Amino acid sequence: MKVVFLAPHYPPEMQQFTRGLAEVGAEVYGVGDQPAAALPPALKPYLSDYLHVAHMMDEDHVIGRVTQWLRGREVDRVLANWEPLMVCAARLRERYGMPGMSVETTRGFRDKELMKERVRAAGLRVPHSQRVRTVAEVHEAAERIGYPLIIKPISGAGSADTYKVDERAELDRVLTAMRHVHEASVEEYIDGEEFTFDTVSIDGAPRFMNVAQYLPKPIIARSEEWVSPVIITVRDLRQEKLAAGIELGRGVLRALGMGDGFTHMEWFLKPNGEAVFGEIGCRAPGAKLVDQMNYSCDIDLFREWARVVCHRRFEATVDYKYNTAIIFKRAKGRGRITRVEGLDAFMRAHGRHVVEQKLLPVGTHRRDWKQTLISDGHIMLRHPDWATAYELAFEVAGKVHLYAQ
């Protein structure tokens, strides 16, 4: 099995997917915008060959370079697991007549308005929305949909350039900040709890499922610097509270024609129990959520994804053992991390439940919290009891602090 894998080094979790491909017997031909000599040493053993391209976001450039590179070679799969490259991978598959999702199917997972149209056509509940390209269209949509509303890029990911808007004056300020966005979606704001529905599927049928809750909702976490975002995977997927969301998720996969691989969906649970679709990508979630799922079940989904996309088999035994929480921390102040408070006390009391502690060390320059959910590091913990996992997560959120100056 010979596999072209786009961007094997970035985002960082792609290195684990590269490992997974190699471990299920694939010869991995990586394509990325980092020179081969600069690739992480731990990644290189899993690559059979590598092509350096100058402009990874230019699909025509990548397709031309890959076509020239592969001349005379036989390749069985072209894969990507990063949102901006999904359509490029589909175009390459169509060019070579390879198995995998088509460009048109992949667009349904990438274009947020097309996505909602297809999900709505299947009779599933989606927010009222409108595609917009001009300021006048934005105001027209706002009048039709009403406030509060959400405005976000048609092809965005990870809540980037996504805003909740409560009134006309605020909308005008947001439009100034979004001048670089050429096409957006204006949609109804859904009041309720926000969850994920993540799957590894074969022919659109989930072989693995995960539900995680965002605490608070991403729209809040990405707009308030003082927040320590928390995400907790849910051990008990059979509870009545989640039934409507899981049923919705399965319906979305059918409506969009999902094939083989990862999906990451977000949905809302309204106070009246109604489940409302948010959006979905036909790729793995970021922000360490795959690691959370692995810790929740003690499995390796990087490898199982690879087995699914290469051999159309899922072999791991799925046993939901833990609710796994990740807490992202943001340093107070600007500059370099000078001290961490509360961590030692928490680790003494609860360290047996912590599976990762990767806060930035003292002396490291803090990150731009607007540019990355990972922020200034994270703590990941797990517990079989939901209430305990929740309590421990918010103890980290409230009592562990980083300071910078």
Give the domain-ending residue among 100, 118, 144. Answer: 100
d(CA 282, CA 101): 10
Give the domain-ending residue among 321, 342, 363. Answer: 321
CA 112-245-146 angle, to 5 degrees, is 50
Give the CA distances from residue 387 to residues 214, 298, 323, 399, in Å, rounded to whole numbers and listed in that order.
Answer: 15, 21, 9, 18
Locus of tokens 């976001």: 57
Q: State whether 203 and 316 are in the same domain.
A: yes
Q: State whether 283 and 373 are in the same domain.
A: no
Q: Is residue 222 part of a domain?
A: yes
Q: Kindly list the averaged pLDDT for each block of 10 residues, start to end, along the chain of length 405.
A: 97 97 98 97 97 97 96 94 97 95 97 95 94 90 91 74 88 88 91 97 98 94 92 98 98 98 98 96 96 98 98 98 98 96 98 98 93 92 98 98 96
Q: For 1, how many CA atoms within 13 A lie in the half-sphere containing its CB?
A: 19
Q: State whether 335 and 255 are in the same domain.
A: no
Cβ–Cβ under 8 Å, residues 210 and 233: yes
Q: pTM score, two decimals?
A: 0.92
- Residue 371: predicted pLDDT: 84
- Residue 157: predicted pLDDT: 63
Q: What is the DSSP string of 277-309?
A: EEEEESS---TTHHHHHHHHHT--HHHHHHHHH
Residues in the chain, overall count: 405
Q: Which domain holds residue 206?
A: 191-321
Tell me which residue of 384, 374, 375, 380 sits closest to 393, measured CA to CA. 380
Q: Is residue 155 part of a domain?
A: yes
- Residue 169: predicted pLDDT: 86
**Percent of the chain residues topping a pLDDT of 70:** 99
Per-residue pLDDT tens digits for 320-355: 999 999 999 999 999 999 999 999 999 999 999 999
Q: State whether 94 and 202 are in the same domain.
A: no
Per-residue pLDDT tens digits for 70-96: 998 999 999 999 999 999 999 999 999
Cβ–Cβ under 8 Å, residues 24 and 305: no
Q: State whether 163 and 244 are in the same domain.
A: no
Q: Which two tokens stand for residue 322?
A: 């833990």
